[in-house]
């Protein structure tokens, strides 16, 4: 007992010392900038006004917004019992962004009364939709995570469709969504301060039940409280904190995830200490990012602070992750429990028949000038020449992403993991964007080269990190999230630039197959077949790893080397699909859950059914995208999210949380 008290005191001292050092450094940086402002020749009254209404409010806004996001991230991670949870987990950010975008395009008069009500309404609506989807599972942590991710994907897909057709009218939206902390008065500070204090007071009232929630719902019930009520109340507070920040200063990335993780890294163990440390660290992270942005503004003006938090925060998290023990990052979001199907061959046969029918319709049936019609026999060969590569690429891309999703969930033992978490998709997309901005009118081959280089560099970072030391599944996930967030910040910064080349980039960013050639389709088919065979060959490793690391080691499995091999295979599958058809954000996350819903328990049957579901959904999405808005085309990646989301929300009541 005494040793435990000594360790806790040592952790508290280390955390306090870290926070003090960061505060001193940032204060020195701000004072240095202030002295430069005061020493600049000019009208002293103008300088005084700039200090009073720009300099000081900006620092205060940084502190308040960062503290709110740090608290929101910690509460979500504790309530959902997952270290990867943050305000985007249950759709808050996506709902707010969709509301602001919709108002900007269709009802700009609503923006005159302020963005706060739109951001709050969008965030709360998305959260209520996630709660409604998880209600049948009694608001279990796993059900809330999955339903929140699905709702977030839906909002992002709808926003992507709107962006695709009217991106030229969304310059202000891009700037707001990147997180700008430029202040001209104290209104944002006065808006956030009372709301942050009220939400913090509620969290302190919930301190005791939240402290024991990591032990399970039974520990909360032992206090005489309802675990469901505590979870709902805490999540509502976290949602409000996130929405208030979004309304005041825009979308701030990474702080809600990084602040609690760093708080645990520096030794904060009790929940009360973590709450204080996360609040202070969130404030310091955002303040530090903003200081760097303002110093860099003399060279590169116009960098949004929200993007900078990811650019500077992600490497910091990756460095600190090397010091974190495995325990605090052990994923504990369990997989859903479904009925067992003793004959998965029947499910596979049904899916195969559906895939053949959808593929046939995609080749033969479509919308033309005269409406929906089957192709005439003379035209079928010509149409197949154009439609065939798209159908083939969609089929194998969906299957590969689904395989990668099933493997990464088993590897990490986390039901909310997906290929995008590893950052390979973000790396590929960043490579394409860099190629567009570096080369005038890049060819399709040049785009593929840039995409492949970006995916390969991301893969090298992941493999290098995994080889440096035996990384736990949770640490690998956080590493991938850090890389993905870092690359996503660069993409956001390029979007803010308003470059006219964005019109050509948006179809690639949203997952389109209309530029796929016959040769590319053949390559992705060969990669898909090879990847499927290799995945089945690795099924025994995945089965053993799902038992946990101690059991895997006792069975003679070299866990470190096996993880590197599996990580390499997952990354190659993701990069191959992303390089050809762009990012596909839904299939890798949900196809394994749908396979479990159909009762597949064996690893080979799960991977096979997941691949079939991914292929079927992607082919259907590509066919719908080609015809629904004829003669325009909707990206298959966005429609795959919408179609799959609707089906998953229908089957969500079958979840039984534990």
pLDDT at site 100: 83
Please check whether residue 54 lies inside any domain of the structure.
yes
Cα separations (Å) of 500 from 174, 301, 439, 506? 14, 19, 14, 11
- Inter-residue contact 282 to 104 (CB < 8 Å): no
Share of residues in the chain with pLDDT > 90 (%)? 7
pLDDT at site 3: 44
Per-residue pLDDT reduced to its tens digit, 552-568: 888 788 887 888 888 77
pLDDT at site 337: 46
Q: What is the mean pLDDT of residues 116-143?
A: 75
Please check whether residue 229 lies inside any domain of the structure.
yes
**Residue range(s) defining the domain that contains residue 232:** 2-24+44-325
Please check whether residue 36 lies inside any domain of the structure.
no
Angle between helices 255-265 and 305-321 in degrees, nearest 10: 30
Domain end: 296, 325, 354, which one?
Answer: 325
Give burial (CB, 10 Å; 0-12/13-18/19+) of 194. exposed
Per-residue pLDDT reduced to its tens digit, 273-299: 889 989 999 999 889 888 888 887 777
Please indicate whether residue 604 or residue 461 has the higher confidence score (pLDDT): 604
- Most confidently modeled range among 74-88, 198-212, 372-386, 510-524: 198-212
Per-residue pLDDT reduced to its tens digit, 28-46: 988 998 888 888 777 788 8
Q: Band of the pLDDT at 331, cuts 50, 70, 90? A: very low
For the chain, give the mean pLDDT.
Answer: 76
Do residue 506 and residue 595 come from a single domain?
yes
- Asked whether the predicted pLDDT for residue 575 surpasses 80, the reply is no
- Residue 371: phi and psi, rounded to 5, are 105, -165
Please indicate whether residue 467 or residue 485 has the higher confidence score (pLDDT): 485
Do residue 266 and residue 372 come from a single domain?
no
Total number of domains in the chain:
2
DSSP classification of residue 41: S
Q: What is the mean pLDDT of residues 447-476?
A: 66
Please check whether residue 524 lies inside any domain of the structure.
yes
pLDDT at site 604: 86
- Say how far apart CA 276 and CA 341 lie, in whole Å: 48
**Which CATH number belongs to the domain containing residue 270 in this structure?**
1.10.3470.10
Q: Band of the pLDDT at 498, cuts 50, 70, 90? A: low
Please check whether residue 426 lies inside any domain of the structure.
yes
DSSP classification of residue 374: E
Do residue 378 and residue 522 come from a single domain?
yes
Q: 368-382: buried (b, 16+ CB within 10 Å) or exposed (e) per residue?
A: eeeeeeebeeeeeee
Q: What is the mean pLDDT of residues 174-189?
A: 78
Do residue 288 and residue 418 come from a single domain?
no
pLDDT at site 466: 58
Domain end: 290, 325, 360, which one?
Answer: 325
Q: What is the mean pLDDT of residues 570-597?
A: 77
Q: What is the mean pLDDT of residues 622-651?
A: 71
Please check whether residue 34 lies inside any domain of the structure.
no
Q: What is the mean pLDDT of residues 221-245?
A: 82
- Asked whether the predicted pLDDT for residue 146 surpasses 70, the reply is no
pLDDT at site 65: 92
Q: What is the mean pLDDT of residues 507-526?
A: 76
pLDDT at site 195: 92
pLDDT at site 12: 61
Do residue 360 and residue 449 come from a single domain?
yes
| DSSP β-bridge partners for residue 372 | 367
Q: Band of the pLDDT at 198, cuts 50, 70, 90? A: very high
Please check whether residue 35 lies inside any domain of the structure.
no
Do residue 313 and residue 357 come from a single domain?
no
């Amino acid at each position: 007992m005494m040793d435990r008290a000594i360790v806790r005191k040592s952790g508290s001292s280390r955390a306090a010392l870290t926070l003090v050092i960061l505060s001193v450094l940032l204060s020195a940086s701000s004072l240095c900038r202030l002295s430069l402002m005061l020493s600049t020749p000019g009208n002293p009254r103008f300088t005084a006004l700039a200090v009073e209404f720009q300099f000081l409010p900006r620092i205060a806004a940084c502190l308040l917004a960062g503290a709110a996001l740090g608290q929101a991230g910690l509460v979500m991670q504790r309530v959902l019992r997952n270290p990867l949870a943050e305000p985007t987990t249950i759709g808050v950010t996506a709902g707010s962004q969709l509301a602001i975008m919709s108002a900007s395009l269709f009802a700009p008069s609503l923006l005159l009364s302020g963005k706060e009500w739109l951001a709050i309404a969008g965030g709360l609506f998305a959260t209520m939709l996630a709660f409604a989807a998880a209600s049948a599972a009694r608001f279990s942590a796993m059900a809330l995570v999955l339903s929140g991710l699905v709702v977030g994907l839906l909002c992002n897909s709808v926003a992507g469709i709107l962006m695709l057709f009217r991106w030229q009218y969304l310059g202000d939206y891009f700037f707001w969504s990147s997180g700008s902390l430029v202040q001209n008065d104290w209104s944002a500070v006065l808006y956030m301060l009372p709301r942050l204090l009220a939400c913090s007071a509620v969290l302190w009232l919930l301190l005791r039940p939240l402290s024991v929630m990591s032990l399970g719902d039974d520990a909360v019930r032992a206090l005489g409280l309802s675990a469901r009520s505590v979870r709902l109340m805490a999540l509502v507070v976290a949602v409000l904190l996130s929405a208030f920040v979004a309304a005041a200063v825009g979308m701030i990335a990474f702080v809600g995830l990084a602040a609690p993780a760093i708080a645990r890294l520096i030794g904060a163990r009790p929940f009360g200490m973590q709450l204080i440390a996360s609040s202070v660290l969130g404030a310091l992270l955002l303040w530090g990012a903003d200081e760097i942005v303002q110093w860099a503004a003399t060279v590169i003006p116009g960098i949004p602070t929200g993007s900078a938090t990811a650019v500077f925060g992600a490497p910091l998290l990756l460095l600190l992750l090397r010091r974190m023990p495995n325990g605090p990052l052990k994923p504990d979001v369990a997989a859903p429990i479904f009925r067992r199907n003793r004959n998965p061959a029947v499910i596979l046969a049904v899916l195969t028949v559906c895939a053949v029918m959808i593929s046939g319709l995609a080749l033969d049936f479509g919308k033309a000038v005269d409406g929906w019609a089957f192709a005439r026999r003379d035209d079928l060969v010509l149409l197949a020449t154009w439609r065939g590569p798209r159908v083939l690429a969609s089929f194998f891309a969906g299957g590969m992403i689904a395989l990668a999703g099933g493997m990464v969930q088993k590897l990490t033992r986390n039901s909310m993991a997906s290929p995008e978490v590893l950052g390979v998709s973000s790396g590929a997309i960043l490579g394409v964007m860099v190629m567009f901005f570096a080369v005038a009118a890049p060819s399709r081959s040049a785009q593929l080269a840039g995409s492949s280089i970006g995916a390969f560099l991301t893969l090298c970072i992941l493999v290098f990190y995994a080889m440096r030391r035996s990384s736990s599944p949770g640490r690998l996930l956080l590493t991938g999230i850090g890389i993905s967030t870092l690359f996503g910040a660069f993409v956001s910064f390029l979007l803010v630039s308003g470059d006219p080349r964005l019109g050509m980039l948006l179809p690639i960013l949203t997952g389109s197959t209309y530029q796929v050639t016959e040769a590319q389709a053949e390559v992705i088919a060969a990669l898909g077949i090879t990847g499927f065979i290799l995945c089945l060959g690795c099924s025994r490793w995945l089965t053993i790893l799902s038992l946990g690391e101690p059991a895997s080691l006792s069975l003679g499995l070299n866990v470190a080397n096996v993880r590197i091999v599996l990580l390499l295979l997952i990354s190659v599958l993701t990069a191959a699909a992303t390089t050809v058809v762009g990012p596909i954000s839904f299939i890798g996350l949900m196809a394994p859950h749908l396979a479990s819903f159909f009762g597949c328990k064996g690893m080979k049957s799960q991977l096979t059914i997941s691949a079939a579901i991914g292929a079927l959904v992607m082919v259907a999405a590509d066919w719908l995208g080609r015809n629904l808005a004829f003669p325009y085309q909707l990206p298959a990646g966005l429609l795959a999210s919408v179609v799959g989301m609707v089906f998953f929300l229908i089957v969500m009541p079958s979840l039984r949380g534990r």
